A and B are shown apart, each in its own frame.
Chain A
């Protein structure tokens, strides 16, 4: 089948209509690209410029007065490395749990004959809209004895209803019911169907929700500061925020040596940018992997009508 597509593409000449379409599309996409790329370059350049260049607004496109000071300032805070380690653990473990729970939930809900389907959907959706609030959630975690433990980072967010709905929609719409019928005729159980048919065909959606979850874990700040006390358990974002926040000028100091004060002030402007680079870099490695799955999630196996 793949061969035939390739053959087709080679033989099909683009009609004039198609050429216009491609031209316009490429132009629009490239324009969007430029609009997006400029600020990105600016951020990287700013992070590699000197503190005074940034705070006096002299950076426009390329680094001005090249300096790695902002990165040094971030990594001088040794705890940042503890943060990296913890964030990696939380992200890997957390995403794994997320995918298991989400797919276990999405699968039954994708079956149109599942009894209680509507009921469950309502129960889950309601929680996207109403929530008890920060204090009751904290008290709940405390009653469960999970305060200051790794479980507080992995369990309360075990499933995002939003992501589950995405997964359900995929399974429902991308996997034709003929397969289900065929499998049932062959005596395949619901469980077996899940593992043999649904999962293999869901690589696209698993990679998407996996990406969403991973990014969520990596960027998480809120649950960490809420539920964790011990410094050695804090994820990256907590430490990065400290670096940022603490380089702000505090007017209650007396008789500063103004030069140094200004230098630290400038540092805050600068650190904003290096923080983004430092915390985003690992994710950049993740996305290309996800992209692979987005190509492969095509239907395999033909449907004998």
Chain B
């Protein structure tokens, strides 16, 4: 039995041109082709109708709000009536005292999280999938899903309790090994990053692996059989059958992940922040939050929208870049 590699064995571009269904042999002008394809795909467009309407109504219409990033928003005048100020809000952000700290902190935290957290669910899914005891697999995956549901407040609470240098597990262990309490791990800015990232890994590796497990479910047993016939060991089978099968999923997940680089969430950072680790823990989201509550005059929506816009712009650049690279290197890409 043949082992199909669907991506490589079928030349999609060739298939493109052989339109096996329509009989119309119209002249191949670009204008003509456009309308002909429109007709050919008419049912597919029908499928698209509802989703497209949805995205326009609920996602694109509210986007007019983005203009306040370029305005000086006054509630009295509303969104349309407020005066334009061009890039002033952005310049204000770039020139602000905190800019040089919050932006790199956000990026560093995000990249660290990506590098650490991205491979682990994949490895876990591959490993778990390769085991043979079904009952064990079910129970394990059920359990490893659960941390995902723990609220961030509790996660940080457990973290601070376990690593307390005096009363926590960490403190007790060091005390019994060395006879003295350890120094406080929460004082250091670097540790903040480690705590942030690895608590995230712990919390989400199980849940994030679901997608890969699902992808692995689609790997046909024939391929494994064939590999076994060829003498591959279990490990080699994981590497050469399972992994390539989920590679497109992995690439897409990676691209999507890169589209969120600037969006470091607020809550966990806020809970782990203290006055000694601000060099690492002051990020864009906490900065915006503090600006909001500190303010005694009207909240400066223009400023926070401008910062949000800046974040999105960076995210867009990054995701386009990664998408372009993956197109060059392989066949999988977002667009």
Q: Do A and B bind each other?
A: yes
Binding site for B on A (CB under 8 A): 1, 4-5, 8, 12, 14-15, 17-18, 21-22, 25-26, 28-29, 32-33, 35-37, 39-40, 42-43, 57, 60, 101-102, 104-105, 107-108, 111-116, 118, 120-133, 135-137, 139-140, 144, 155-156, 158-159, 161-162, 164-166, 169-170, 172-174, 176-178, 181, 184-185, 187, 189-191, 194, 204-205, 207-208, 211, 219, 272-273, 275-276, 279-280, 283-284, 287-288, 291, 294-299, 303, 305
Report if A132-B206 is in contact (Cβ < 8 Å); known contacts: A26-B131, A140-B58, A291-B141. Answer: no
Asked if A298 contacts B54 (CB within 8 A), the reply is no
B50 proximal to A (CB < 8 A): yes
- Size category of the B interface is 35 or more
A120 adjacent to B52 (CB under 8 Å): yes
* Structural contact, B65 and A174, CB atoms closer than 8 A: no
> What are the 8 tightest A-B residue pairs by CB atom distance, in nearest-first order?
A136-B65, A132-B62, A105-B51, A132-B65, A136-B62, A121-B335, A108-B44, A127-B59
The yes or no answer to B293 lying at the interface (CB within 8 A) is no
A275 to B210, CA, bound (A): 25
B131, A130: Cβ atoms under 8 Å? no
Q: Are B218 and A170 in contact (CB under 8 A)?
A: yes
CB pair B214–A208 under 8 Å, yes or no, is yes
Indicate whether B60 reaches chain A with its CB closer than 8 angstroms: yes
Total contacts A to B, CB within 8 angstroms?
Answer: 263
Which B residues are CB-close (under 8 A) to A32?
124, 144, 205
Name the residue on B nearest A156 (C-beta).
B58
| CA–CA, A159 and B57, complex, Å | 12
Q: CA of A272 to CA of B271 in the docked complex: distance in angstroms?
A: 15
- On chain B, the residues within 8 Å of A114 by CB distance are 41, 44
User: Which residue on chain A has the smallest CB distance to residue B60?
Assistant: A127
Q: List 9 A-B contacts (CB under 8 A).
A: A35-B202, A108-B47, A129-B259, A132-B63, A166-B252, A177-B12, A211-B210, A272-B153, A280-B146
> Inside 8 A of A162's CB, which chain B residues have their CB?
256
Q: A25-B131, A36-B143, A298-B217 are in contact. Are A305 and B2 (CB under 8 A)?
A: yes
Which residue of A115, A288, A291 is within 8 Å of B34 (Cβ)? A115
Q: Would A25 and B130 count as touching, CB distance under 8 A?
A: yes
From A17, A121, A205, B233 is in contact (CB under 8 Å) with A17
Bound CA span A178–B5, Å:
12
0/1 interface trace, chain B 142-165, chain A, CB 8 Å (1 if under): 111111011101100110010000
A84: min CB distance to chain B, Å: 16
Which of B93-101, B188-196, B312-320 sits within the interface?
B312-320
Interface membership of B220, Cβ < 8 A: yes
Identify A18's interface contact among B62, B235, B335, CB under 8 A. Answer: B235
Q: Are B225 and A159 in contact (CB under 8 A)?
A: no
A102 to B149, CA, bound (A): 24
Taking a contact as CB atoms under 8 Å apart, the answer to whether A190 and B44 are in contact is yes
Contact code string B93-130 (vs A, CB < 8 Å = 1, else 0): 00000000000000000000000000000001001101
Partner of B202, one of A36, A42, A272: A36
Q: Roughly how many angstroms separate A178 CA and B34 CA in the complex, as a whole number?
A: 25
Query: Are B149 and A294 touching (Cβ within 8 A)?
Result: no
